[in-house]
Amino acid sequence: MTHGPGHAVGYAVFDTAVGRCGVAWSEAGIVGVQLPEAGGPHATGRRLAKRFPDARSVSAPPPVARAIIGMTALLEGTRDDLRDVVLDVRGVPPFNARVYALARAILPGSTSTYGELARQLGDPTAARGVGQALAQNPFPLVVPCHRILAAGGGLGGFSARGGRDTKRALLAIEGATSVDQLPLFGGKSD
């Protein structure tokens, strides 16, 4: 996704246990989260500036600063579920917003599947649509798309840098109980 759902006014980058992450916000909440990018210490900031060309690199206001603290703590292994982080979902397609709301209910260390989220949405045939919505997730970590697996416990996809290896690492940081049983090189997709 090249832009966030809302009009970003600011962005900031911050160091975490997995590398430099970033966040962009509007007056209504967070519009985007950026996981670490390849290409050196300034790559994440460049990526955010590209995603949100009207935003400025500025100090985070208190609600965003609290979100940064929560994301940093989560990446250090705490069980912060980040559900208190306010998202600006204006412009997010309604189906995606419903998927993101369900994903946010999955606690750190727990997982679900694309198919289970589809069933919760009332359409068991929508697993592929769930996967597509998660691939467009502008709020990784806050909307924990890494906690959604493929059928049969397969890892499924992950669109951030590092792909499935990053997904596996995030699950391991959170202590997901099934992470040791996930296939090393993929698995069945749902």
Question: Alpha-carbon torsion 139, 144, 146, 149, what sign?
Answer: negative
**Tokens encoding 85:** 């982080």
Q: Does the annotation mark 145 as catalytic?
A: yes
Q: How far apart are CA 63 and CA 53, in angstroms?
A: 22
The catalytically annotated residue of 126, 145, 173, 182 is 145
List b or e across 97-106, with b for residues whose CB sees 16 or more CB atoms inside 10 angstroms: bbbbebbbeb
Instruction: Write 18-22 long-range contacts (CB < 8 A, 24+).
Output: 18/75, 18/169, 18/170, 18/173, 19/44, 20/44, 20/45, 21/71, 21/75, 21/141, 22/47, 22/48
Phi-psi region of 89 (alpha: psi -120 to 50; beta: other; left: phi over 0): alpha
| Residues taking part in catalysis | 145
